[in-house]
Amino acid sequence: MKYSRALKYVKNLGEFSYNFDLTRIRNFLEKLGTPQDKIKIIHVAGTNGKGSVCAYISTVLQKAGYKVGLYTSPHLLDIRERIQINRIKIPKKDFAEFIARYSLLVTRYHLTYFELLTSLAFWYFERKKVDFAVIEVGLGGRLDATNVIKKPLVSVITNISLEHTQYLGNTVSKIAREKAGIIKKNGIVITGTSGVALRTIEKIAKSKNTKLIRINNHENTKQQNFNYKIVEKVPKEVILSEAKNLLPTKSEMLHCVQHDKTKVFQRSHYKISLFGEHQKENARLASAVCRYLDIPEKQIIDGIKKTRWPARFEVIPITDYRLPVTAVLDVAHNPSGIKVLKDSIKKYFGKKINFVFGVLADKDYKEMIKTISSVAKNVFISAPLNNRALSSQIVRKEFLKYILPRNVFIFSSIKKAIKSAIVQKENFCITGSTYTVSEAITAIKN
């Protein structure tokens, strides 16, 4: 089977078809010999930062000399981005071979688009004998297709806020319960959550006799009566591209868990190449996971420094029309992600900048627009080429609540919006949706 035919088959399943029942994918994977049970897995859930944390972990493990599978979603330009080994995309021939061999079974078990790709990732990683596989949850956790994993080396939950409320619940507590569904009995979970989300995760971890390691990114947290809790105080005076991380050894982590102790560990300095205040938190969490996996300090430092992850506050120069400007690409697509983006814009630019913006209709676009308007000078609106895209007229109407009409513009394509932003001779940010940024990357490359 040619790759083009295999790709068409997968696309015809429909990227946004959801059917939250693990029975189908479990039965399908049994026919494949349960490949997910034969690889060492780090399982990562959370509202934002999952992909970045996965990228950090996989890069560190690779720098430590391991063969590392990485499964993330969604993709920006190429579906094969989702499935990588040592940051190299799955070859077209392997992709096509899987579809040719198992398409009849896929049809028989009525697998969704995401279930098929998840199965392909497990099959490919087991076939290539990876040392580790870093697996990102697609949506939620408890009923996500990736949760067929029986015993991960470690479960990771980045942070939790309101998103996909139609599927996961309309409160942080409900969403936390869904994401904490990846926690397995007698296991280890490492998290950067706080507040209601953390309390929910603590209860679930305790009910499953699972040790919980808490990486505290913001404030001092008083010791509480949980015998599986570690608290780490991270200083606020972290500067751009440097993270002062508090890294215990694995034995120190488990000692604190066992003896109900809270400990502040020695500071280690980590250079990070990804911009954005939130990336320091992501790097701290990832480095703690790697330390738990007994990765030496030198490899952690090297891996964190060399991690690359596109379209996460990615700063790129644009020189079209002999008008050099800087563009920021960021796939923020929910209120919490947009807030982090806003904070980073304020810190790194120190003033309002222009935006190219497009969003999907099923997102909390009103809150996103309200937040981004506080740092927006001019807004160039275009709906991404997606059947879930929100009308540009509706987006403009919402922006006009906060920005004067002369500063809000509508365009028929992302490409035209970018061209208009460039000729302003000012820095600008492209955001609102993965699909908006994906189109922007293609337009800029062309």
| pLDDT band with cut points at 50, 70 and 90 for residue 272 | confident
Indicate if the pLDDT at residue 446 is higher than 90: no
Residues 19, 89, single domain; the answer is: yes
For the chain, percent of residues with pLDDT exceeding 90: 69
Residues 126, 273, single domain; the answer is: yes
**Mean pLDDT (whole number) for 176-180:** 93
Stronger pLDDT, 213 or 369, i.e. the higher one: 369
| pLDDT band with cut points at 50, 70 and 90 for residue 167 | low
Report pLDDT for 18.
Answer: 67
Least confident span in 184-198, 285-299, 318-332: 318-332
Residues 401, 269, single domain; the answer is: no
Tens digit of each residue's pLDDT (9 = 90 or more) over 117-146? 999 999 999 999 999 999 999 988 899 999
Residues 327, 295, single domain; the answer is: no
Residues 48, 70, single domain; the answer is: yes
Residues 409, 328, single domain; the answer is: yes
Task: Round to whole Å and give the CA distance between 183 and 190.
Answer: 10
Domain boundary among 306, 324, 359: 306
User: Mean pLDDT in the chain?
Assistant: 86
Residues 260, 405, single domain; the answer is: no
Residues 266, 329, single domain; the answer is: no
Residue listed under structure tokens 């810190």: 347
CATH of residue 358's domain is 3.90.190.20
CATH of residue 267's domain is 3.40.1190.10
Query: Counting beta carbons within 10 angstroms of the beta carbon of residue 208, is it exposed (0 to 12), middle (13 to 18) or buried (19 or more)?
Result: middle
Q: Give the residue from 224, 272, 279, 216 showing the smallest Cα distance to 246.
A: 216
Domain boundary among 306, 325, 357: 306
Residues 296, 186, single domain; the answer is: yes
Domain count, the chain: 2
pTM, entire model = 0.87
Domain boundary among 306, 329, 359: 306
Tens digit of each residue's pLDDT (9 = 90 or more) over 191-226? 988 899 999 999 999 999 999 988 865 433 333 222
Residues 45, 143, single domain; the answer is: yes
Residues 356, 407, single domain; the answer is: yes
Indicate if the pLDDT at residue 239 is higher than 60: no
Q: What is the residue range of 301's domain?
A: 3-306
Q: Give the residue from 145, 144, 149, 111 showing the smallest Cα distance to 133.
A: 149
Residues 298, 407, single domain; the answer is: no
Angle at 239 between CA 233 and CA 241, to 5 degrees: 105
